[in-house]
Amino acid sequence: MTASLNDIAARAGVSVKTVSGALHGGSARMSEETRQRIKEIAEELGYVTNFAARSMRQGWMPLVGLVADDLITSPFATEIIRGLDGAVRASDMAVFAMTLSGHRNVGSILDEMRRFRPRAIAYAAMYHKSVDLPAEFADTVGVMINCRDANDRVTSLVPDEIGAAIEITSYLIEAGRRNIAFINLPGILAGELREFGFRQALDHAGIDGAGATVLPAVGKPVYSDRAPSLVPVHVHDLMKSRRPPDAILCGNDRVAMEVYAALRRSGATIPDDVAVASFDNQVEIASRLDPPLTTMALPHRAMGRQAAQILLAEDRPPVGVQKLPFQLVERESV
């Protein structure tokens, strides 16, 4: 079916070793003429390296495994994969992604991944959370992306939620807003941390508790897009209250989308009456809202890139949690 080094060697009348050297330019030096001839024959026969065979000697396939929560099926995945892929390609490797979706547990999918003998494995979560990786897999996973190991046995890369919340809240305050409502994502780590940062920024600015309303975007304490949204009723109530907010901070861009609609219904204009800001910078949403949304962009791409650095580095860095900064994207909603 597919041509092998042997086929080329036979055709060229040299040994496989010579062909291997010619194509993959090992230290073996040979007449440039022979090398050229071999390359031509390889081309002619449609030869492509057999990584499986090569890996028998090397011990691993030129792959970086990415085991994901349910990530691949989420729009956020794209940026993490882009970042990882770009960096990994530089080392002539490819990213091989598998999704946990139907699986019972993390261990079984990690074992599935290991069968392909990747050089290293990263674990990524769809949203920032704490993951309890079974002890026996602490060595298998080289880095955790967008989540942290509950037992701190694996180097983790997570977005700096607190910093981002402080930055965006301060930004709203600097824009003159004094009564900020935060429609947060309840029951998830990212939400807790952001609320912490939010309150800290308000404290720092000397704004009292009355100006620090925090409301849940959904009823259930679970992150699920299926859960019925509380956004319309919250916004309605806020705007009808004795002291309506002059800014609404949203848990993510989709919440912001709903906030936009609800504000319009209540007759408020953005940003004149109420400024709106958010977290995510989700492709195709944030920039297309009317007015375009000011939001803190998640460092997905950077986490992917950084993960590659860690995985492919000669020596593992000391285990720890690295917080990567969000980026403020200023648009017209503030």
List residues binding a second copy (CB under 8 A). 1-2, 46, 48-53, 55-56, 59, 61, 72-75, 77-79, 81-82, 85-86, 89, 94, 96-99, 102, 111-112, 114-117, 136, 225, 254, 257-258, 261-262, 264-265, 282-285, 288-290
Site for DNA in 54-113 (CB under 7 A): 54, 56-59
Least distance CB 122 / DNA (angstroms)? 24
CA distance 279 to 132: 26
Amino acid of residue 148? R
Q: Taking each helix axis as running N to C, give the angle between helix 5-12 and helix 16-24, from 0 to 180 degrees, rounded to the nearest 10.
A: 110
Residues 6+ apart with CB under 8 A from 133: 106, 123, 141, 144, 149, 150, 151, 153, 154
Residue 222's binding partner out of DNA, a second copy, none, with CB under 5 to 8 Å set by partner kind: none
Separation of alpha carbons 251 and 153, rounded Å: 29
- Closest to a second copy by CB, 78 vs 179, is 78
- What tokens appear for 114 in the block? 């290991």
What does 114 interact with, of DNA, a second copy, none (CB < 5 to 8 A by kind)?
a second copy
Give the closest residue to 212 by CA, choosing from 197, 193, 231, 199.
199
- In degrees, rounded to 5, the angle at the alpha carbon of residue 13 between the alpha carbons of residues 12 and 18 is 75
- Residues 1-20 as x/- pattern, contact with DNA by CB under 7 A: -x-xxx------xxxxxx-x
Report CA 10 to chain centroid distance, whole Å: 48
> Measured from the CB atom, is 25 or 221 closer to DNA?
25
Nearest CB to DNA, comparing residues 57 and 226: 57
11, 34, 130, 329: which one binds DNA (CB under 7 A):
34
Q: Using CB under 7 A, which of 36, 43, 44, 53 touches DNA?
A: 53
Distance between CA 268 and CA 166 in Å, rounded?
A: 26
Q: Give Rg (Cα) of the chain.
A: 26
Backbone angles phi, psi at 112, to 5 degrees: -60, -40
Tell me whether the omega of the peptide bond preceding residue 134 falls within 30 degrees of 0, making it cis: no
Kindly identify the residues of this chain, within the stretch 213-242, that bind DNA according to CB under 7 A.
none
Q: How far is the CB of 111 from DNA (least distance, A)?
A: 13
- What is the number of helices (H) and of strands (E) in the chain? 11, 12
49 is a contact residue toward DNA (CB under 7 A): yes
Determine, following the binding rule CB under 7 A, whether residue 114 of this chain makes contact with DNA: no
Residue 283 binding DNA, by CB under 7 A: no
C-alpha 80/C-alpha 300 separation (Å) is 5
In whole angstroms, the minimum distance from the beta carbon of 71 to DNA comes to 29
Distance in Å, CB of 163 to a second copy, minimum: 26
59 vs 267 by CB, closer to DNA: 59
Q: CB 54 → DNA: shortest distance, Å?
A: 4
Decide which of a second copy, DNA, none touches 225; Cβ closer than 5 to 8 Å per partner kind.
a second copy
Q: How far apart are CA 295 and CA 180, in angstroms?
A: 15
Of residues 253, 244, 242, the one with CA closest to residue 217: 253
Residues lying near DNA in the complex (CB under 7 A) are found at 2, 4-6, 13-18, 20-21, 23-24, 26, 28-31, 34, 47, 49-50, 53-54, 56-59
